[in-house]
Amino acid sequence: MSNALEITTATFGETTGTGVSLVDFWAEWCGPCKMITPMINELAEEFDGKATIGKVNADENQDLLAQHNVASLPTLLVLKNGEEVNRFIGITPKEELAEAITTAIG
């Protein structure tokens, strides 16, 4: 089973710079973040080879929160070639995220 990729400040640009990515900004203390983790891992498996599914630990990568105007957790960004094309805040249905990823892939 594929798990979401751990993304840090050092790897963000390289990881999300080409293709389509879903990035989950989360924190250990965030209850809703923990609730969506299994769904994020399922998306990582379903989109393996088609899109990058990753997680950013908000506590360890605060500069990324500032760069991407993340004020609430969880925040999920859909990026295409490094540019934000969609944003979801809070618990979002898996189908909605999958549709956003599929749309971005084209």
Active site residues: 30, 33
* The two structure tokens encoding residue 46: 């379903």
* The two structure tokens encoding residue 50: 């088609």
* The two structure tokens encoding residue 97: 């995220």
Q: For tokens 């900004």, name the residue.
A: 25
Q: Look at residues 26, 10, 15 and name the one whose alpha carbon lies nearest to residue 58.
A: 26
